[in-house]
Structure 1
Amino acid sequence: MDFKSINGGQETLCIKVNKVYDWVTRQVDVPLLAFNASDLAAGTIVFDCDGVTPGDDPCAVLGGNYTVECFATDETGTPVDPLAPGSILCQEIPQPEGRASGQFQLPDGSTVTLQKVKVLKKGFVVVRITNPNGLSCTTGPIPWAVSEKFFLCAPPGTFLQCEITDFECDANLICRAAATPGEFEFQQLDVSINLCQNVQMEALVKLEITADFCQPRPDMPFVCPPLAFPPQCPTVFPGPGPSPA
Protein backbone atom coordinates (compact mmCIF):
# COMPACT_ATOMS: atom_id res chain seq x y z
CA MET A 1 0.00 0.00 0.00
CA ASP A 2 1.46 3.34 -1.03
CA PHE A 3 1.35 5.69 1.96
CA LYS A 4 2.48 9.27 1.52
CA SER A 5 3.85 11.58 4.18
CA ILE A 6 2.07 14.76 5.19
CA ASN A 7 4.28 17.74 4.39
CA GLY A 8 5.36 19.57 7.51
CA GLY A 9 4.09 16.81 9.78
CA GLN A 10 7.49 15.58 10.97
CA GLU A 11 8.03 15.42 14.72
CA THR A 12 9.94 13.50 17.37
CA LEU A 13 8.08 10.38 18.47
CA CYS A 14 8.49 7.88 21.30
CA ILE A 15 7.59 4.33 20.26
CA LYS A 16 7.67 0.98 22.07
CA VAL A 17 9.10 -1.89 19.98
CA ASN A 18 11.00 -5.16 20.32
CA LYS A 19 14.70 -4.53 19.77
CA VAL A 20 16.71 -7.44 18.34
CA TYR A 21 19.92 -7.89 20.35
CA ASP A 22 21.16 -10.92 18.41
CA TRP A 23 19.93 -13.09 15.56
CA VAL A 24 21.25 -16.36 14.17
CA THR A 25 19.96 -19.07 11.87
CA ARG A 26 20.83 -22.73 12.23
CA GLN A 27 19.88 -26.10 10.86
CA VAL A 28 19.26 -28.79 13.45
CA ASP A 29 19.10 -32.55 12.96
CA VAL A 30 16.94 -34.33 15.51
CA PRO A 31 18.57 -37.55 16.79
CA LEU A 32 17.34 -40.51 14.74
CA LEU A 33 14.16 -42.12 16.04
CA ALA A 34 14.57 -45.88 15.57
CA PHE A 35 12.01 -48.57 16.45
CA ASN A 36 12.62 -52.33 16.16
CA ALA A 37 10.50 -55.47 16.50
CA SER A 38 10.82 -55.36 20.30
CA ASP A 39 9.33 -51.84 20.33
CA LEU A 40 6.41 -53.05 18.21
CA ALA A 41 5.80 -55.99 20.55
CA ALA A 42 6.02 -53.76 23.63
CA GLY A 43 3.66 -51.15 22.18
CA THR A 44 6.32 -48.42 22.06
CA ILE A 45 5.32 -47.95 18.43
CA VAL A 46 1.72 -48.74 17.43
CA PHE A 47 0.21 -48.96 13.95
CA ASP A 48 -3.46 -48.52 13.13
CA CYS A 49 -4.22 -50.29 9.85
CA ASP A 50 -7.43 -49.78 7.85
CA GLY A 51 -9.93 -52.44 8.84
CA VAL A 52 -7.39 -54.29 10.99
CA THR A 53 -7.08 -54.36 14.76
CA PRO A 54 -4.64 -51.63 15.92
CA GLY A 55 -1.26 -52.95 16.90
CA ASP A 56 -0.90 -55.36 13.99
CA ASP A 57 2.32 -55.68 12.04
CA PRO A 58 2.21 -53.24 9.07
CA CYS A 59 4.52 -55.45 7.02
CA ALA A 60 2.18 -58.43 7.47
CA VAL A 61 -0.84 -56.29 6.54
CA LEU A 62 0.61 -54.38 3.59
CA GLY A 63 3.11 -56.84 2.16
CA GLY A 64 6.50 -55.92 0.80
CA ASN A 65 5.44 -53.17 -1.62
CA TYR A 66 4.57 -49.81 -0.04
CA THR A 67 5.29 -46.10 0.17
CA VAL A 68 6.11 -44.21 3.37
CA GLU A 69 5.29 -40.62 4.31
CA CYS A 70 5.96 -38.64 7.47
CA PHE A 71 4.32 -35.38 8.54
CA ALA A 72 4.10 -33.04 11.53
CA THR A 73 1.09 -33.33 13.87
CA ASP A 74 -0.10 -32.19 17.27
CA GLU A 75 -0.19 -34.49 20.29
CA THR A 76 -3.50 -36.00 19.11
CA GLY A 77 -2.14 -36.91 15.66
CA THR A 78 -3.92 -34.11 13.76
CA PRO A 79 -1.70 -32.77 10.93
CA VAL A 80 -0.35 -29.25 11.48
CA ASP A 81 1.66 -26.74 9.50
CA PRO A 82 5.12 -27.04 11.10
CA LEU A 83 5.97 -23.46 10.11
CA ALA A 84 2.90 -21.98 11.82
CA PRO A 85 3.60 -20.30 15.18
CA GLY A 86 3.05 -22.71 18.07
CA SER A 87 2.98 -25.88 15.97
CA ILE A 88 6.44 -26.79 17.25
CA LEU A 89 7.40 -25.85 20.80
CA CYS A 90 10.55 -23.74 20.89
CA GLN A 91 11.50 -22.21 24.22
CA GLU A 92 14.48 -21.35 26.38
CA ILE A 93 15.59 -23.84 29.01
CA PRO A 94 16.07 -21.94 32.31
CA GLN A 95 19.50 -22.32 33.86
CA PRO A 96 19.76 -22.40 37.69
CA GLU A 97 22.59 -19.86 37.74
CA GLY A 98 21.24 -17.82 34.84
CA ARG A 99 22.89 -17.41 31.47
CA ALA A 100 26.63 -17.86 31.79
CA SER A 101 28.80 -15.25 30.03
CA GLY A 102 31.97 -15.88 28.09
CA GLN A 103 34.53 -13.98 26.02
CA PHE A 104 34.73 -14.76 22.32
CA GLN A 105 37.18 -13.51 19.73
CA LEU A 106 35.82 -12.03 16.51
CA PRO A 107 37.50 -12.49 13.10
CA ASP A 108 39.00 -8.98 13.36
CA GLY A 109 40.74 -9.90 16.62
CA SER A 110 38.45 -8.00 18.97
CA THR A 111 36.58 -9.74 21.78
CA VAL A 112 32.90 -9.73 22.65
CA THR A 113 30.94 -10.95 25.67
CA LEU A 114 28.16 -13.41 24.85
CA GLN A 115 25.74 -15.43 26.96
CA LYS A 116 25.01 -19.16 26.78
CA VAL A 117 21.36 -19.77 25.87
CA LYS A 118 19.85 -23.27 25.93
CA VAL A 119 16.88 -23.86 23.63
CA LEU A 120 14.41 -26.76 23.60
CA LYS A 121 12.39 -27.75 20.52
CA LYS A 122 9.81 -30.52 20.58
CA GLY A 123 6.81 -31.74 18.62
CA PHE A 124 5.10 -34.79 17.12
CA VAL A 125 5.12 -36.63 13.79
CA VAL A 126 3.03 -39.40 12.29
CA VAL A 127 4.19 -42.01 9.79
CA ARG A 128 1.74 -43.41 7.22
CA ILE A 129 2.54 -46.48 5.09
CA THR A 130 0.40 -47.26 2.04
CA ASN A 131 0.43 -50.16 -0.42
CA PRO A 132 -0.61 -50.02 -4.10
CA ASN A 133 -4.11 -51.29 -3.19
CA GLY A 134 -4.72 -48.16 -1.10
CA LEU A 135 -4.56 -49.96 2.24
CA SER A 136 -2.63 -47.92 4.80
CA CYS A 137 -1.18 -48.26 8.29
CA THR A 138 -0.63 -45.15 10.41
CA THR A 139 1.37 -44.72 13.58
CA GLY A 140 0.16 -42.85 16.61
CA PRO A 141 1.79 -39.48 17.32
CA ILE A 142 5.54 -39.98 17.76
CA PRO A 143 7.10 -37.41 20.12
CA TRP A 144 10.48 -35.90 19.35
CA ALA A 145 12.66 -33.36 21.13
CA VAL A 146 16.07 -31.76 20.75
CA SER A 147 17.97 -29.24 22.86
CA GLU A 148 20.70 -26.90 21.63
CA LYS A 149 23.21 -24.45 23.03
CA PHE A 150 23.70 -20.99 21.54
CA PHE A 151 26.15 -18.22 22.42
CA LEU A 152 24.28 -14.97 21.87
CA CYS A 153 24.14 -11.36 22.97
CA ALA A 154 21.52 -12.05 25.64
CA PRO A 155 21.89 -9.67 28.60
CA PRO A 156 19.38 -9.80 31.48
CA GLY A 157 15.96 -8.59 30.36
CA THR A 158 16.12 -10.15 26.90
CA PHE A 159 13.91 -13.03 25.87
CA LEU A 160 14.05 -15.74 23.22
CA GLN A 161 12.08 -15.40 19.99
CA CYS A 162 12.19 -18.60 17.93
CA GLU A 163 10.77 -19.22 14.45
CA ILE A 164 10.82 -22.50 12.49
CA THR A 165 11.50 -21.66 8.83
CA ASP A 166 11.78 -25.15 7.33
CA PHE A 167 10.78 -28.65 8.43
CA GLU A 168 11.49 -32.02 6.86
CA CYS A 169 10.55 -35.48 8.09
CA ASP A 170 11.62 -38.72 6.40
CA ALA A 171 10.78 -42.28 7.43
CA ASN A 172 12.09 -45.65 6.32
CA LEU A 173 10.29 -48.93 7.04
CA ILE A 174 12.27 -52.16 6.83
CA CYS A 175 10.34 -55.41 6.42
CA ARG A 176 11.92 -58.85 6.39
CA ALA A 177 10.70 -62.16 5.03
CA ALA A 178 8.61 -64.09 7.53
CA ALA A 179 8.82 -67.80 8.21
CA THR A 180 5.81 -68.34 5.96
CA PRO A 181 6.84 -67.95 2.29
CA GLY A 182 5.47 -64.82 0.64
CA GLU A 183 4.75 -63.06 3.93
CA PHE A 184 6.63 -60.27 5.68
CA GLU A 185 7.16 -59.05 9.22
CA PHE A 186 8.26 -55.78 10.84
CA GLN A 187 11.97 -55.31 11.38
CA GLN A 188 12.61 -51.60 11.88
CA LEU A 189 11.20 -48.09 11.42
CA ASP A 190 13.60 -45.13 11.26
CA VAL A 191 12.39 -41.52 11.42
CA SER A 192 14.70 -38.58 10.69
CA ILE A 193 13.70 -34.95 11.28
CA ASN A 194 15.55 -31.86 10.08
CA LEU A 195 14.54 -28.27 10.57
CA CYS A 196 15.80 -24.73 10.11
CA GLN A 197 15.25 -21.98 12.61
CA ASN A 198 15.60 -18.27 13.32
CA VAL A 199 16.72 -17.66 16.88
CA GLN A 200 16.58 -14.08 18.15
CA MET A 201 17.15 -12.41 21.51
CA GLU A 202 14.82 -9.46 21.97
CA ALA A 203 13.72 -6.94 24.56
CA LEU A 204 10.90 -4.44 24.66
CA VAL A 205 12.39 -0.94 24.48
CA LYS A 206 11.21 2.64 24.01
CA LEU A 207 12.86 4.54 21.17
CA GLU A 208 12.85 8.20 20.26
CA ILE A 209 12.71 8.72 16.52
CA THR A 210 12.07 11.59 14.14
CA ALA A 211 9.53 10.67 11.52
CA ASP A 212 6.86 11.96 9.20
CA PHE A 213 3.18 11.34 9.74
CA CYS A 214 1.65 9.44 6.89
CA GLN A 215 -1.74 9.46 5.30
CA PRO A 216 -3.58 6.73 3.42
CA ARG A 217 -3.31 6.48 -0.32
CA PRO A 218 -6.20 7.80 -2.41
CA ASP A 219 -9.04 5.34 -2.63
CA MET A 220 -9.66 3.74 -5.98
CA PRO A 221 -12.69 5.45 -7.52
CA PHE A 222 -15.74 3.29 -7.93
CA VAL A 223 -17.85 4.11 -10.95
CA CYS A 224 -21.27 2.58 -11.29
CA PRO A 225 -21.61 0.77 -14.62
CA PRO A 226 -24.22 2.13 -17.03
CA LEU A 227 -27.57 0.44 -16.96
CA ALA A 228 -27.92 -2.11 -19.71
CA PHE A 229 -31.25 -3.25 -21.06
CA PRO A 230 -31.65 -6.48 -23.00
CA PRO A 231 -32.46 -6.03 -26.70
CA GLN A 232 -36.15 -6.03 -27.55
CA CYS A 233 -38.12 -7.43 -30.44
CA PRO A 234 -40.26 -4.46 -31.56
CA THR A 235 -41.71 -6.31 -34.51
CA VAL A 236 -43.27 -8.79 -32.10
CA PHE A 237 -43.83 -6.72 -28.95
CA PRO A 238 -45.25 -4.25 -28.49
CA GLY A 239 -45.73 -4.62 -32.23
CA PRO A 240 -46.18 -2.03 -34.99
CA GLY A 241 -49.49 -0.84 -33.54
CA PRO A 242 -52.90 -0.65 -35.26
CA SER A 243 -53.05 0.25 -38.92
CA PRO A 244 -54.28 3.81 -39.68
CA ALA A 245 -57.94 4.06 -40.72
Structure 2
Amino acid sequence: MQDFMPSQVLQEPICINVDKVFDWIVKEATFEFSPTGPLSFPTVPANTDLSGAVVTCNVVPRATNPVVILNRENRQFTIDGATVCLQNLTIQKNFTLTLVVTLPNGTVFTSNPITVSRCEQVTLCAPKGTDVEILFTDLDCFVCSVGGTPIAAAGTITFSALVVTISVCQSIQSTFPVTVEFLATFCEPRAELPFACPGVVRPAQCPAVFPPPAG
Protein backbone atom coordinates (compact mmCIF):
# COMPACT_ATOMS: atom_id res chain seq x y z
CA MET A 1 0.00 0.00 0.00
CA GLN A 2 1.30 3.44 -0.86
CA ASP A 3 2.26 5.51 2.15
CA PHE A 4 -0.02 8.44 2.91
CA MET A 5 1.71 11.76 2.17
CA PRO A 6 -0.05 14.83 3.59
CA SER A 7 1.17 16.99 0.70
CA GLN A 8 -0.80 14.86 -1.77
CA VAL A 9 -4.12 16.21 -0.53
CA LEU A 10 -3.39 19.21 1.69
CA GLN A 11 -3.48 22.57 -0.03
CA GLU A 12 -3.78 26.02 1.42
CA PRO A 13 -3.53 29.63 0.22
CA ILE A 14 -0.06 31.09 0.69
CA CYS A 15 1.37 34.54 0.02
CA ILE A 16 4.84 35.13 -1.40
CA ASN A 17 6.82 38.19 -2.43
CA VAL A 18 7.83 38.25 -6.10
CA ASP A 19 8.78 40.75 -8.79
CA LYS A 20 5.98 41.40 -11.26
CA VAL A 21 7.26 41.83 -14.82
CA PHE A 22 5.54 44.84 -16.41
CA ASP A 23 7.33 44.55 -19.75
CA TRP A 24 10.16 42.57 -21.30
CA ILE A 25 12.24 42.94 -24.44
CA VAL A 26 15.41 41.34 -25.81
CA LYS A 27 17.78 43.35 -27.96
CA GLU A 28 21.34 43.43 -29.23
CA ALA A 29 23.73 46.35 -29.06
CA THR A 30 27.27 46.99 -30.24
CA PHE A 31 29.38 50.03 -29.45
CA GLU A 32 33.01 51.15 -29.54
CA PHE A 33 35.23 52.50 -26.79
CA SER A 34 38.42 54.47 -27.50
CA PRO A 35 40.39 55.37 -24.37
CA THR A 36 43.00 58.10 -24.72
CA GLY A 37 46.16 58.97 -22.82
CA PRO A 38 48.31 56.68 -20.70
CA LEU A 39 46.48 53.65 -19.30
CA SER A 40 47.51 52.10 -16.00
CA PHE A 41 49.38 48.78 -16.32
CA PRO A 42 50.96 48.45 -12.83
CA THR A 43 53.54 45.75 -13.70
CA VAL A 44 54.93 47.26 -16.91
CA PRO A 45 58.61 48.31 -16.58
CA ALA A 46 59.76 51.51 -18.25
CA ASN A 47 60.96 51.27 -21.86
CA THR A 48 59.43 47.80 -22.40
CA ASP A 49 59.53 46.91 -26.09
CA LEU A 50 55.90 46.31 -27.14
CA SER A 51 56.65 45.49 -30.77
CA GLY A 52 54.50 42.59 -31.93
CA ALA A 53 52.40 42.63 -28.74
CA VAL A 54 48.87 41.23 -28.91
CA VAL A 55 46.14 43.22 -27.16
CA THR A 56 42.96 41.51 -25.95
CA CYS A 57 40.21 42.51 -23.54
CA ASN A 58 37.71 41.26 -20.99
CA VAL A 59 34.46 42.98 -20.02
CA VAL A 60 31.91 42.39 -17.23
CA PRO A 61 29.02 44.43 -15.78
CA ARG A 62 30.22 46.84 -13.10
CA ALA A 63 29.78 45.45 -9.60
CA THR A 64 27.97 48.57 -8.32
CA ASN A 65 25.21 50.40 -10.22
CA PRO A 66 25.46 48.33 -13.40
CA VAL A 67 22.23 49.96 -14.64
CA VAL A 68 21.07 53.53 -13.89
CA ILE A 69 17.80 55.10 -15.11
CA LEU A 70 18.69 58.64 -16.18
CA ASN A 71 15.28 59.75 -17.47
CA ARG A 72 11.72 58.41 -17.74
CA GLU A 73 9.32 60.12 -20.15
CA ASN A 74 5.69 59.19 -20.81
CA ARG A 75 4.74 58.81 -24.46
CA GLN A 76 1.48 57.92 -26.18
CA PHE A 77 1.42 55.08 -28.70
CA THR A 78 -1.36 53.57 -30.80
CA ILE A 79 -1.24 49.77 -30.65
CA ASP A 80 -3.94 47.68 -32.37
CA GLY A 81 -6.14 50.77 -32.57
CA ALA A 82 -5.88 51.56 -28.85
CA THR A 83 -3.95 54.44 -27.30
CA VAL A 84 -1.53 53.32 -24.60
CA CYS A 85 0.93 55.21 -22.43
CA LEU A 86 4.43 53.78 -22.40
CA GLN A 87 7.68 55.13 -21.02
CA ASN A 88 10.72 56.14 -23.01
CA LEU A 89 13.66 55.34 -20.73
CA THR A 90 17.17 56.68 -20.99
CA ILE A 91 19.35 54.13 -19.23
CA GLN A 92 23.05 54.05 -18.54
CA LYS A 93 24.82 50.70 -18.51
CA ASN A 94 28.16 50.55 -16.71
CA PHE A 95 30.86 47.99 -17.46
CA THR A 96 34.33 47.15 -16.21
CA LEU A 97 36.89 46.63 -18.98
CA THR A 98 40.31 45.05 -18.58
CA LEU A 99 43.01 45.13 -21.26
CA VAL A 100 45.60 42.38 -21.60
CA VAL A 101 48.87 42.92 -23.48
CA THR A 102 50.82 39.77 -24.39
CA LEU A 103 54.39 40.09 -25.65
CA PRO A 104 55.83 37.70 -28.27
CA ASN A 105 57.88 36.00 -25.51
CA GLY A 106 54.70 35.23 -23.56
CA THR A 107 54.98 37.97 -20.93
CA VAL A 108 51.54 39.25 -19.96
CA PHE A 109 50.60 42.70 -18.63
CA THR A 110 47.09 43.41 -17.33
CA SER A 111 45.58 46.86 -16.99
CA ASN A 112 43.77 48.24 -13.99
CA PRO A 113 39.96 48.04 -14.39
CA ILE A 114 38.55 50.70 -16.71
CA THR A 115 34.97 51.91 -16.27
CA VAL A 116 33.02 52.05 -19.52
CA SER A 117 29.52 53.55 -19.72
CA ARG A 118 26.97 53.32 -22.50
CA CYS A 119 23.64 55.17 -22.70
CA GLU A 120 20.68 54.08 -24.78
CA GLN A 121 16.93 54.60 -24.95
CA VAL A 122 14.31 51.86 -24.75
CA THR A 123 10.52 52.02 -24.74
CA LEU A 124 8.80 49.87 -22.14
CA CYS A 125 5.71 49.75 -19.98
CA ALA A 126 7.69 51.07 -17.03
CA PRO A 127 5.61 53.59 -15.05
CA LYS A 128 7.10 55.61 -12.23
CA GLY A 129 8.09 53.33 -9.35
CA THR A 130 9.15 50.38 -11.49
CA ASP A 131 12.75 49.27 -11.72
CA VAL A 132 14.70 48.17 -14.79
CA GLU A 133 16.68 44.95 -14.70
CA ILE A 134 19.11 43.96 -17.44
CA LEU A 135 20.44 40.42 -17.81
CA PHE A 136 23.31 40.12 -20.26
CA THR A 137 22.79 36.80 -21.99
CA ASP A 138 25.99 37.45 -23.92
CA LEU A 139 28.67 40.06 -23.24
CA ASP A 140 31.93 40.15 -25.16
CA CYS A 141 34.59 42.49 -26.46
CA PHE A 142 37.45 42.53 -28.94
CA VAL A 143 40.21 44.94 -29.84
CA CYS A 144 39.44 46.39 -33.25
CA SER A 145 42.56 48.56 -33.59
CA VAL A 146 45.62 49.61 -31.58
CA GLY A 147 47.15 52.01 -34.10
CA GLY A 148 50.94 51.96 -34.07
CA THR A 149 53.18 50.21 -31.59
CA PRO A 150 52.12 51.10 -28.02
CA ILE A 151 54.57 53.03 -25.86
CA ALA A 152 55.43 51.77 -22.38
CA ALA A 153 56.44 53.86 -19.40
CA ALA A 154 56.79 52.77 -15.79
CA GLY A 155 53.33 51.46 -14.90
CA THR A 156 51.54 52.78 -18.01
CA ILE A 157 50.99 52.01 -21.68
CA THR A 158 49.90 54.60 -24.23
CA PHE A 159 48.07 53.55 -27.41
CA SER A 160 47.97 55.78 -30.47
CA ALA A 161 44.52 54.66 -31.69
CA LEU A 162 43.03 51.97 -29.48
CA VAL A 163 39.48 50.94 -30.43
CA VAL A 164 37.62 48.30 -28.40
CA THR A 165 34.32 46.93 -29.69
CA ILE A 166 31.84 45.72 -27.07
CA SER A 167 28.81 43.64 -28.05
CA VAL A 168 25.92 42.67 -25.80
CA CYS A 169 22.80 40.55 -25.98
CA GLN A 170 20.51 41.84 -23.27
CA SER A 171 17.23 40.92 -21.65
CA ILE A 172 15.56 44.11 -20.37
CA GLN A 173 12.66 43.93 -17.93
CA SER A 174 10.65 46.52 -16.01
CA THR A 175 9.67 45.08 -12.63
CA PHE A 176 7.97 45.97 -9.36
CA PRO A 177 7.82 43.95 -6.10
CA VAL A 178 4.35 42.56 -5.31
CA THR A 179 2.78 40.09 -2.90
CA VAL A 180 0.70 37.36 -4.56
CA GLU A 181 -1.61 34.70 -3.17
CA PHE A 182 -2.21 31.27 -4.68
CA LEU A 183 -3.36 27.81 -3.68
CA ALA A 184 -0.33 25.61 -3.12
CA THR A 185 0.59 22.06 -2.26
CA PHE A 186 3.49 21.77 0.16
CA CYS A 187 6.52 19.87 -1.09
CA GLU A 188 7.94 16.80 0.57
CA PRO A 189 11.58 15.68 0.43
CA ARG A 190 12.38 12.94 -2.07
CA ALA A 191 13.59 9.53 -0.96
CA GLU A 192 17.34 9.05 -0.65
CA LEU A 193 18.84 7.29 -3.63
CA PRO A 194 19.91 3.70 -2.93
CA PHE A 195 23.65 3.10 -2.91
CA ALA A 196 25.49 -0.17 -3.10
CA CYS A 197 29.22 -0.87 -3.30
CA PRO A 198 30.25 -2.10 -6.75
CA GLY A 199 31.34 -5.70 -7.14
CA VAL A 200 34.83 -6.80 -8.03
CA VAL A 201 35.69 -5.78 -11.57
CA ARG A 202 38.42 -7.60 -13.46
CA PRO A 203 39.99 -6.08 -16.56
CA ALA A 204 39.45 -7.73 -19.92
CA GLN A 205 42.15 -10.21 -20.90
CA CYS A 206 43.79 -11.15 -24.18
CA PRO A 207 44.18 -14.95 -24.13
CA ALA A 208 44.89 -15.00 -27.87
CA VAL A 209 48.24 -13.24 -27.36
CA PHE A 210 49.16 -14.00 -23.77
CA PRO A 211 50.14 -16.51 -22.73
CA PRO A 212 51.41 -17.58 -26.15
CA PRO A 213 49.99 -20.85 -27.45
CA ALA A 214 52.01 -23.97 -26.70
CA GLY A 215 54.40 -24.95 -29.52
Query: What is the CA deviation profile of residues 186-231 of structure 1, one whole-angstrom value per residue up to 9, with x for unaligned ones?
Result: 53221121222222111111222122222122222456x59x9xxx
Structure 1 CA distance for aligned equivalents of residues 41 and 181 of structure 2:
59
TM-score (norm 1): 0.64
Structure 1 CA distance for aligned equivalents of residues 101 and 63 of structure 2:
23
What letter is aligned with 2:26?
A: T
Matches within 5 A, 1:149-160: 149-160=121-132
The corresponding residue for 2:50 is 62
The corresponding residue for 1:91 is 67
The corresponding residue for 1:23 is 24
Would the aligned equivalents of 1:5 and 1:214 in 2 still touch at CA under 8 Å?
Answer: no
Counterpart among 101, 111, 128 of residue 139 in structure 1: 111
Would the aligned equivalents of 1:13 and 1:211 in 2 still touch at CA under 8 Å?
Answer: yes
The corresponding residue for 2:134 is 162
The corresponding residue for 1:14 is 15
TM-score (norm 2): 0.71
What letter is aligned with 1:8?
A: V
- 1:215 partnered with 2:188: yes
The corresponding residue for 1:204 is 177
Secondary structure of the residue aligned to 2:56 is strand
The corresponding residue for 1:179 is none
Structure 1 CA distance for aligned equivalents of residues 30 and 180 of structure 2:
38
What letter is aligned with 1:114?
A: L
What letter is aligned with 2:82?
A: S
Matches within 5 A, 1:109-188: 109-171=81-143, 172-175=145-148, 187-188=160-161
Structure 2 CA distance for aligned equivalents of residues 33 and 89 of structure 1:
22
Query: What is the CA deviation profile of residues 77-120 of structure 1, one whole-angstrom value per residue up to 9, with x for unaligned ones?
Result: xxxxx27xx6474223254xxx32111233x3433221122221
Count of paired positions: 187
Following TM superposition, the consecutive aligned residue runs of length 4 or more in structure 1 with deviations greater than 4 angstroms are 46-50
Report the structure number with the largest CA radius of gyration.
Answer: 1
Aligned-residue offset at 1:48: 5.0
What letter is aligned with 1:20?
A: V
The corresponding residue for 1:192 is 165
Matches within 5 A, 1:44-83: 45-47=39-41, 50=44, 52-53=45-46, 56=47, 61-63=49-51, 65-72=52-59, 82=60
Secondary structure of the residue aligned to 1:156 is coil
Give the direction of change, closer, same or farther, for the CA distance of 1:156–1:219 in structure 2 (3 Å limit).
same
The corresponding residue for 1:235 is none
